[in-house]
Structure 1
Amino acid sequence: MPNQPSPLLERLVNVPVIPVLEYHSVDDALHVSEALVAGGLPLLEITLRTPVALEAIQAVAKALPQAVVGAGTVLTVEQLHAVRDAGAQFAVSPGLTQKLADGAQGAGITLLPGVATASEAMAALESGFTFLKFFPAEAAGGVPMLKSLYGPLAQLKFCPTGGIDIVKAQHYLALPNVVCVGGSWVVPKDAVAAKDWGRIRKLAEEAARLCKG
């Protein structure tokens, strides 16, 4: 299977962070997403971890056409189709099965599959994926692991996610094989509870200023 560049890479040229989002109401989804986009983070990963996730994806995609809405925690081909139909432009999975890899071909949505080892990265490459999520980043070896993967697998690009904050993000972004990082630190739970959208926008602005490799 030929390895084609991920269309998602083109959207990440000046975007160092993809917020990983868990929404419990559509109203929160709209306000938080608006604050993130206004702060300079237009790519949003809305995870399928809550009952309102699909509705939130649909609402944000419709209300914020300038955003690039994605879906996270996609585990099956059925979910891949569901998030595409809801308006997601990309999907993120914590790992990669052969069934999901096959189902992503021609599905009309870009898949960012997760890997944690060299063998998993090689399997993803065989399935045609060259842009991968490194997950769970900190638990799977962090920056040293990605440095080690660069030598034998320099053709791969990564979005490390899992346990990353703004300080750690800078170390990941300095690596030649890291395009961006995924993180939830830009949307603190207490800020959402207090409906402090201004604080979230400031955190997004801070994250958007991070320099990449």
Structure 2
Amino acid sequence: MTAKTVSEIVRLGPVIPVLAFDTVEQGEQVSRALHAGGVKVLEITLRTPAGLGAIERACGLADDIVVGVGTLTKPEHCAQAKKAGAQFGVSPGLTKELHQAAQDAGLPLLPGVMTPSDIILALELGYDIVKFFPAQQAGGVPMLQAFHGPFPALKFCPTGGITAESAPHFLALPNVVCVGGSWLTPKSALAAQNWEEVTRLARAASQLAAPAH
């Protein structure tokens, strides 16, 4: 698959599932189930030791699947993720060192921001799309509405505490391009290996849109 920019990736669907796997095998099954439900973009986090292996496995599942690595917190993670096949990176925050490491690795980055100072740093480094994290805890929809005034050109992918019920309200905002969420992979479904439920939730998420006004 040809390399995509973050701008292209975030527009491939309204929801990017945020994933953490216990094993590489679980990662493959869940990734397959999500893709069957129409989800094209996956964010597989490095929160568990299975992360890099799951990324490698997911990349080979389909030609139209775009696999990103989440929870990038150290510069060395960028090269490791790129080597595993990740096509983009997602970080909870941003430093100049992390930015440089992503550039050096050729890994398009969706950096996390929470405050106006974070946003100004991201803009200085050339980002026009950022992750707002943790979205719900950091002020949710009203905070993103407030950011739109001083930062009118910036687009957001809010992640953290978002649910199937609240997602449409985020997607209705003019400065939101997509949302990140973990509700597509409930712990109960994963424990029961109920991949049909994951596919059902993925299908519903793929059809989410902003509520009609």
When normalised by structure 2's length, the TM-score is 0.94
Aligned to 2:156: 158
Q: Tell whether 2:142 aligns with 1:119.
A: no
Q: Which residue of 1 aligns with 2:54?
A: 56
Kindly report structure 1 stretches of 4+ aligned residues shifted beyond 6 Å: none
The percent of aligned pairs where both chains have the same amino acid is 51
| Per-residue Cα deviation, 1:92-133 (whole angstroms, up to 9, x for no partner) | 000001111222224211110000011110110001111100
Do the aligned residues in 1 keep the contact of 2:11 with 2:178 (CA within 8 Å)? no
Question: Which residue does the alignment assign to 1:205?
Answer: 203
1:201 Cα deviation after fit: 0.3
Is 1:89 the counterpart of 2:83? The answer is no
Report the Cα distance in structure 1 between the residues aligned to 2:70 and 2:101, rounded to whole angstroms. 16
Q: 1:99 to 1:14 in 2, by over 3 A?
A: closer
* Residue correspondences, number: 208
Matching residue's letter, 2:85: G
What 5-or-longer segments of structure 1 have no aligned partner?
1-5
Spell out, residue by residue over 1:149-180, the C-alpha distance to the aligned partner (whole angstroms, 9 max, x if none): 01110111100000000111010000000000
Taking the aligned partners of 1:94 and 1:12, their CA distance within structure 2 comes to 16
1:76 is matched with 74
User: 1:67 aligns to what?
Assistant: 65
The Cα of 1:26 is off from its aligned counterpart by 1.3
Aligned to 1:147: 145
Q: Distance in 2 between matches of 1:107 and 1:210?
A: 33
- How do residues 4-83 of structure 1 correspond to structure 2 at under 5 angstroms? 7-83=5-81
C-alpha deviation, 1:11, in angstroms: 2.8
Segments of structure 2 that go 5 or more residues without pairing to the other structure are: none
Aligned to 1:3: none
CA positional deviation for 1:66: 2.2
Check 1:56–1:14 CA distance in 2 against 1; reply closer, same or farther (3 A cut). closer
User: Which one of 126, 129, 141 corresponds to residue 127 of structure 2?
Assistant: 129
SS at match of 1:96: coil
The residue correspondences of 1:171-186 to structure 2 (distance < 5 A) are 171-186=169-184
Deviations 1:128-154 (A, max 9, x none): 111100000011111000000011101
Q: Please, which moves more after superposition, 99-108 or 45-54?
A: 99-108
Could you say what secondary structure the match of 1:63 adopts? coil
Letter in 1 for 2:53: E
CA distance in 1, matches of 2:57, 2:16: 19
2:106 is matched with 108
Partners of 1:85 and 1:208 in 2: CA distance: 29
Distance in 2 (alpha carbons) for counterparts of 1:171 and 1:43 = 21
Alignment RMSD (CA, Å): 1.3
The normalised TM-score by structure 1 is 0.94
